[in-house]
Structure 1
């Protein structure tokens, strides 16, 4: 399953990058996104954590008015249940987004590596984060399903919502 996600992500990225584009960075096609996320851990993560709160950081470039690519990172803090300890996840990913119209519905996905913090014998693994949401010139509001396929057959899964603000490059 991990190899399938990786193949789909790399194939999508290569097909989009292969299109004829110009790489002029302007406030109309490039910006920094900063925001917050909140989620409910499910699966293996749900056994050890009751809530996740995070910071979402992204740099985006619009290839054309409908396709955006970029880099994503941030930090997700998992609040532990009584007998466990808090832990964290730092994603390092590329992302793709498809915007149907200048304001409205979008689909997107992050693909990369999720680094776990404060977890013994587990550094992390393949990170996948599909999203669906609403956007306008300034805001993105979205729902997501985040999964890190970590070592030792542990999946860190979260279902949640997030919002980011677009800060234009000048």
Structure 2
């Protein structure tokens, strides 16, 4: 049911981002964001993991100085505690960001599917990752809450901080 909801939501939002003009990618409106995240597992994940460390990659397109969309992926590694093994989440998501000013506060969210690694009998589920942070032309520093609503009523969650560097398209 969650997968159906995700597909309907993404298809329903797609007309908001449709444009009649040809899109021209420039260093001022599009770039890659590459970075690292670190977090503390909460909820179900806290029972089996002590720390989460991740890599983040995003392709972003800026519609205007305030609104951006893009694709996000990466890998979040959860370090097992006690007798539990390490596991991970690989997101395949779209994202939205709102920048209040050219340098300063932003908020955004990733929504997609989180594939689980090294967890038996559970492929993954709906992935959400809201963020709030500070940005400038080259860097983004942010706090986030990441949750994968996985199968079998398992929620893989962590809260943490991240940093990404902007690589401009030429």
Q: Distance in 2 between matches of 1:142 and 1:11?
A: 28
Alignment partner, residue 137 of structure 2 = 137
Confirm or deny: 8 A CA contact 1:38 1:160 kept in the other structure: yes
Which consecutive residues of structure 1, in runs of 5 or more, have no partner in the other structure?
A: none
- Asked if residue 87 in structure 1 is aligned to residue 87 in structure 2, the reply is yes
Alignment partner, residue 102 of structure 1 = 102
Which consecutive residues of structure 2, in runs of 5 or more, have no partner in the other structure?
A: none
Alignment partner, residue 123 of structure 2 = 123
Alignment partner, residue 49 of structure 2 = 49
Confirm or deny: 8 A CA contact 2:56 2:164 kept in the other structure: yes
Moved over 6 A (4+): none
SS in 1 for 2:45: helix
Q: Distance in 1 between matches of 2:111 and 2:60?
A: 14
Structure 1 length-normalised TM = 0.92
Structure 2 length-normalised TM = 0.92
Q: CA deviation at 1:23?
A: 1.2
Alignment partner, residue 68 of structure 1 = 68
Q: Distance in 2 between matches of 1:73 and 1:105?
A: 23
Alignment partner, residue 113 of structure 1 = 113
Deviates more, 1:9-18 or 1:40-49: 9-18
CA pair 143-32 structure 1, distance change in 2 beyond 3 A? same
Equivalent residues, number? 170
Alignment partner, residue 10 of structure 1 = 10
Alignment partner, residue 149 of structure 1 = 149
Confirm or deny: 8 A CA contact 1:9 1:111 kept in the other structure: no
Deviations 1:39-87 (A, max 9, x none): 0000001100010000000000001110000000000100001110000
Q: CA deviation at 1:16?
A: 3.6
Q: CA deviation at 1:21?
A: 6.0
Deviates more, 1:12-21 or 1:97-106: 12-21
